[in-house]
Structure 1
Amino acid sequence: MNFSQLVSLAKYLASHGLLCLRFTCKGLNLVYRTKAYCAVLTYLKSNEEYKVAGVFLAGRSMGSRAAASLMKTACEQDDCFIQGLICLSYPLHPPKAKSKLRDEDLLRLTKPALFISGSADEMCDKTLMTNVVSKIKAPVKIHWVENANHGLTTKGKTLEDVLPEMNEQTLSWIQEIVEL
């Protein structure tokens, strides 16, 4: 929850009037993280203090896998509460294991999705991701940060140079989806 990308994005979206909730899960177990994400979503739906009309699920790396997994379940229930999915540095495959795609949840998406990844991400081959996205029936947008790695950093640029690009792309995409 404290990765620079998530902190920056939450602050940027909040400065434009969008409520952002960040949370973290200990451990690298995807099933556990998805259950924790589901508990947060259930809380938001039932919270009487804040009347939340809808949400975009988002995450970075494994957090984006958990968000995508939860989207699959929620979309099967035709949940109108969830409006879309935002994946920062989605780990499509393990490093140096491009044949082990983690695309099963993505292929079942029925809500709009935004992917922001580095074009040199060792866990998200650009050609493979483009191929996976072409099979998704929901509206999908990919924004490639040129020459960036999994951490969205690149030679010659600092993360602070990349964050405004990521933030602006995300806000613009959310505004497009909300206006539909």
Structure 2
Amino acid sequence: MAKRRKPAKRSLQSAGDDDSVNHSSRGDVDGGHDEDDTTLNPGDDEENHVEKPDVGHFEFDANNKAIVCERRGMVGKPSLIWTHGAGGGLEAPATKDFADGFAARASIVSFKGAMNLVSRTKVFHAVIEHEGFDAALGGRSMGARAACIAATQEERQTKALVLVSFPLIGGTKGDSREQILLDLPEEIDVLLISGTKDSMCDLEQLAAVTAKMNARCWMVVVQAANHGMDWKWKDSAQQMRRMTGALAAEWLESRDRSKRHCVIRWDEEAGQIQCEGWKEGEKEVQKLGDEEAPPAKRRKKTK
């Protein structure tokens, strides 16, 4: 039997005092919003002339509850099990577009979960058992937190985590949620995808956390993107989000330890998105931001 990993108990506690109680579907487990996912604009695909990928919808029962899922890519075991944030569902642009981009390279199963962190983690385990797969887990915002916790429980053999817009700063007191990342074991590789204007993830603070982590980390920085993976160049936002998904799939295939960071930005002169590709070295995350990002607000940090 595989060696059981120590459950991340401290992570659940450090996320906020209200993790174990029920909350409305609009809020996160700490009583505040973990994301700014917006309602999907039905015209996004038509306006950008982007072909819609095939999506297979399915449900299964777990503990007398129907778990709603979507499958993109080849039938069979997925390359990633993925979930949404607390402020939106599977149709939120930041969730849907990432999955579409990922599916261009590899298979992905997305699932809809409760807005409570503990409940979301339980659904993660249910989907893992249904798919017979736990090698790579991921999610955005609160879903990213649930992925981290699920990976350290139930004797999971998770080798990779894809964390989009990880809400490092949250809760009613603006505490750091770094412990959930520090609890990850060294055998798990972690991809962090964040925007420079993400109000819930100060890149300078994130860099300090990754320097202390046991797990190996890679970073994709999206210049001028906010917590919902949106930016002011609206006509290109969907393309940008899909690009992050494709990069995540590429990373899962290679995980080159010598190339740890990648930057996505809007090129004003060319009028198009620019992706510099994976770069070598341990470049400091805070130096990957753009000049127009607002000064980071200093928040209370956990000891």
Q: Structure 2-normalised TM-score?
A: 0.50
**Would the aligned equivalents of 2:101 and 2:244 in 1 still touch at CA under 8 Å?**
no
Secondary structure of the equivalent of 2:138? strand
Distance in 2, matches of 1:164 and 1:31, equals 29
Q: Compared with structure 1, are the counterparts of its residues 7 and 33 closer, same or farther at alpha carbon in structure 2 (3 Å cutoff)?
A: same
Give me the identity figure in percent: 29
1:101 paired to 2:203: no
Q: Pick from 3, 11, 20: which aligns with 2:108?
A: 20
Give, in angstroms, the shift of residue 122 of structure 1. Answer: 0.4
Q: Pick from 105, 121, 143: which aligns with 2:220?
A: 143
1:62 paired to 2:142: yes
Structure 1 residue ranges without an equivalent (≥5) = 46-51
Give, in angstroms, the shift of residue 72 of structure 1. Answer: 2.5
One-letter amino acid of the counterpart of residue 38, structure 1? H
1:177 paired to 2:255: yes
Higher normalized helix content (fraction of residues): 1
Residues 111-130 of structure 1 mapped to structure 2, 5 A cutoff:
111-130=188-207
Q: Which residue of 1 aligns with 2:240?
A: 162
Higher normalized strand content (fraction of residues): 2
Structure 2 residue ranges without an equivalent (≥5) = 1-89, 257-303
Secondary structure of the equivalent of 2:246? helix
Distance in 1, matches of 2:94 and 2:217, equals 21
Secondary structure of the equivalent of 1:21? strand
Q: Structure 1-normalised TM-score?
A: 0.81
Give, in angstroms, the shift of residue 132 of structure 1. Answer: 0.8
Secondary structure of the equivalent of 2:159? strand
Q: Which residue of 2 aligns with 1:48?
A: none
**Would the aligned equivalents of 2:101 and 2:243 in 1 still touch at CA under 8 Å?**
no
Distance in 1, matches of 2:214 and 2:196, equals 23
Q: Which residue of 2 aligns with 1:34?
A: 121
Secondary structure of the equivalent of 2:182? helix
One-letter amino acid of the counterpart of residue 178, structure 2? D
Query: How many residue pairs were aligned?
Result: 165
**Would the aligned equivalents of 2:101 and 2:245 in 1 still touch at CA under 8 Å?**
yes
Distance in 2, matches of 1:91 and 1:33, equals 16
1:3 paired to 2:3: no
